[in-house]
Structure formats: C-alpha cells, structure tokens
Amino acid sequence: MKIPDNTTVFEGELATFWFDENGILCANSKNTPRTVERQKDNYAFIRKITGNKKVCLLSDNTETSLQGEETRNYAASHISKFFKAKAVISFSSDGKYVVNSFLALKKQPVPIKMFDNEKEAKEWLMQYL
C-alpha cells in the first residue's frame, strides 16, 4: 500500500504503520523473520501507537515472511487484545499463503478476511469501526 503524504508513520521491526482518515491502522509488513519475541515486541509497539485501544487493521502482507507454529499460535492467542477486525491484502503468492494458512489452521477470535484490493478491504473494515 502507498503511504499517504503528510501522514505520521511509525516504523516497527515487522511493519511500517500509519492511520488512515477513518482511524484504520494500516501496515505494510516487512520481510523480517517472525519469532515469538518479535511478535511480542510488535504487539507492544502497536499498543503504544494506538494508545492501548483496539483498532481495525488493514495489513499488506505482500512482503511478509513465513512464521513457525509457535509464533502463529502466539499471534492468534493475542490478536483480540489489539484488534476489532483485520483485513489483509497481498500481491504475492507467499503473502497469500501465509495468511490463508494462518486462517485455516485455527479459528480466529476476531474477524479476519483476505482481499485482493485495498478499497474492498477498507469497505469491509468500516463495519467494525
């Protein structure tokens, strides 16, 4: 996703974050190996930039890296503490595989849906704001 001009950007280890005009937290994932420790740090970073409020997340996972079972389980067990809903887009087969395998392996505690484009993903997230 393209980061809009004149937007505050938050650089995390696993993603670059910003808020859109509706208050949706947007993230461009980085191709950084994902571990439980990095995921813990990522959630602490999200807590800081959101003021410890649950938000809707739109994540571009085109550049994301694979994660092991322990990291997936940790992420899934904590996701509801940070997000109301999560929409994911990806323009790579690896990014789509990561998301689809995450969704297939375990029932998620918040609504999560995969999209082919940013506009549809944002429209879906609006119902959870």
Q: What pLDDT digit, counting tens, does each position of 18-64 carry?
A: 999 999 999 999 999 999 999 999 999 999 999 999 999 999 999 88
Fold of the domain built from segment(s) 10-128? Transcription Regulator spoIIAA (3.30.750)
Q: How many CA atoms does the CB half-sphere of 99 hold within 13 Å? A: 23
d(CA 78, CA 41): 12
- Amino acid at site 111: P
The predicted structure's pLDDT at residue 13: 96
Q: Considering the chain, what percentage of its residues have pLDDT values greater than 90?
A: 72
- Per-residue pLDDT averaged across 85-90, rounded? 94
The predicted structure's pLDDT at residue 93: 76
Does residue 129 carry a pLDDT above 70? yes
